[in-house]
Structure 1
């Protein structure tokens, strides 16, 4: 991989807003409960800077999930798979939401997408019921669940296992891999080091399989990206959607496309799903240091 593609997080701008500052942020973290985003993610890396952002679009992705587009006032970026702290004027709670947009696309447009499932948690409730185009918020980037291979790393295939709205960081990683493909020359794409990427994505119903059309486009445009879909609470009317939870047979089949001994696995979804996937992967011989898990959400 060209060294210019490697994303270095060390050089960040440090301007912050009057609405939110480090003192306010630390005070809020110390007063939250254990179920709050700030506490759950307190040991993960965070940028120092807080940025202003404006809502540019709100739409429905599914009966329970809203898409929000934010234009962010920054010259810096984030890594594929990371989340942001969302700070809303007038709310004491800080939200935590994963970016869906590829970092390379964000570098060009400074617009990122969030996909937020409805709940009564104040930041989430605000997004679903009060946010509108033009609303002003503040954000900061963070998170350790990242895909950012270094230039000298040996090529590793990527297996993505997602459940429900846990698709967000995995979709971001897929978009990033697709963007990296676009930067490669035909020779690089055919030199035997191509990284295969496979997504296994499970949700309760077809309507809740977020970004399915977009991911089908990624498949069409990238020979090294494949997707497989599962629903758990309805009968599927589509041939490409299986009617069961992701199981051992599905994982065994995945390793016909993904090199088992040269891969990294990213898992994001409900806690029971994560625990099941970890056990099945280890039973299939995947080492613990090959598995990346996003548990916090």
Structure 2
């Protein structure tokens, strides 16, 4: 098997004052390390492409489970399963250096590519998803000015009152903004999870305090579609695996794929999310209704969504409205990923 690329990110940050060491699969290192951004990984072989994104917040709170998750992904990737892109490619396991929680977003992502241009934007819209996540739209200051970025990238966010920039994944796509005109401004969309991170705290201020406020942003990151160095014309299947706020870069990539006139023949989205107490509402699960709407608009039947819900009971799911056909209780496990790979490899 001709392995085009291997990129697996397992950079996890511990609680302040402590350290966590996790194994890392050797390959192209993707140090996103942003305060509230997910950790990322991608693998590719001759005909399929797998993108994994794990929520940073979950990794910080549960370092032991995070280590097990990394080990699970590594075992999957290096297994003898037919879909394994590492079957003929030696891998090296080594401990990564401990990353101190005091490092800023810019320090942790110093080796990542960035645009030189700084963009002034305004907070033009705020929508609540649930009690802990809100969507924020940042619009270009100049009418008709285009904002350039690739699906999957993040923003350095410079807030005047803060000394250090924050890092947040862009959840919109370049095509969402259409052709900017004097009447229609280009924009970035961000999904901001409530946290003690100072930039996130600022973006979680009451709407009246930050709407129309100006901030400065800059795009960056290499976890993008199309992936660097890979001929996507030869990719027949794409598997997107998201956990928690790890959905953020993948919703941008998925929506972008849905907008293309030509795309891989089969696309699978495996999404794990924790639900709130009380009745389950699809609209309060981050980007779930957006994913489902994008799939419904396609005539293609080779686009599938598998949803995994934690903190829910079977009764909760049975009485929920608007959920997709394939819903499973619990976290995404190795067997679930094995199954997704086997299905993809055999198609």
Q: Same fold (TM over 0.5)?
A: yes
Number of the residue aligned with 1:278: none
In 2, Cα distance between the equivalents of 1:112 and 1:40? Answer: 22
Write the deviation string for residues 102-158 of structure 1: whole angstroms up to 9, x where unpaired: 122235351221001011111100001155321111100000111116777413421
Write the deviation string for residues 233-288 of structure 1: whole angstroms up to 9, x where unpaired: 22242464211111123223323553479xxxxxxxxxxxxxxxxxxxxxxxxxxx
Number of the residue aligned with 1:55: 123
Number of the residue aligned with 1:174: 254
The question of whether the paired residues in 2 share the 8 Å contact of 1:164 and 1:209 is answered with no
> Are residue 241 (structure 1) and residue 337 (structure 2) matched?
no
The question of whether the paired residues in 2 share the 8 Å contact of 1:102 and 1:179 is answered with no
Q: SS of the counterpart of 1:167? A: helix
The question of whether the paired residues in 2 share the 8 Å contact of 1:68 and 1:115 is answered with yes
In 2, Cα distance between the equivalents of 1:78 and 1:108? Answer: 14
Number of the residue aligned with 1:28: none
Change (3 A) 1:152 1:178: closer
In 1, Cα distance between the equivalents of 2:232 and 2:294? Answer: 26
In 2, Cα distance between the equivalents of 1:61 and 1:35? Answer: 29
In 2, Cα distance between the equivalents of 1:229 and 1:152? Answer: 26
> Are residue 120 (structure 1) and residue 207 (structure 2) matched?
no
> Are residue 70 (structure 1) and residue 138 (structure 2) matched?
yes
Number of the residue aligned with 1:209: 285
* Structure 2 portions without partners, runs of 5+: 1-99, 181-185
Number of the residue aligned with 2:159: 88
Q: SS of the counterpart of 1:70? A: strand
In 2, Cα distance between the equivalents of 1:143 and 1:34? Answer: 21
* Deviation larger for 65-74 or 95-104: 65-74
Number of the residue aligned with 1:226: 304
Q: CA deviation at 1:76?
A: 4.5
> Are residue 139 (structure 1) and residue 217 (structure 2) matched?
yes
Q: CA deviation at 1:202?
A: 0.7
The question of whether the paired residues in 1 share the 8 Å contact of 2:127 and 2:136 is answered with yes
User: Of Structure 1 and Structure 2, which has the larger fraction of its residues in helix?
Assistant: 1
The question of whether the paired residues in 1 share the 8 Å contact of 2:308 and 2:328 is answered with yes
The question of whether the paired residues in 2 share the 8 Å contact of 1:116 and 1:165 is answered with no
In 2, Cα distance between the equivalents of 1:152 and 1:177? Answer: 11
* Deviation larger for 53-62 or 154-163: 154-163
TM-score by length of 2: 0.58
In 2, Cα distance between the equivalents of 1:112 and 1:164? Answer: 21
Number of residue pairs aligned between Structure 1 and Structure 2: 220
Alignment of 1:24-43 (within 5 A): 34-43=102-111
Q: SS of the counterpart of 2:175? A: helix
> Are residue 197 (structure 1) and residue 267 (structure 2) matched?
yes
In 2, Cα distance between the equivalents of 1:256 and 1:217? Answer: 27
Q: SS of the counterpart of 1:123? A: helix
In 2, Cα distance between the equivalents of 1:117 and 1:212? Answer: 16
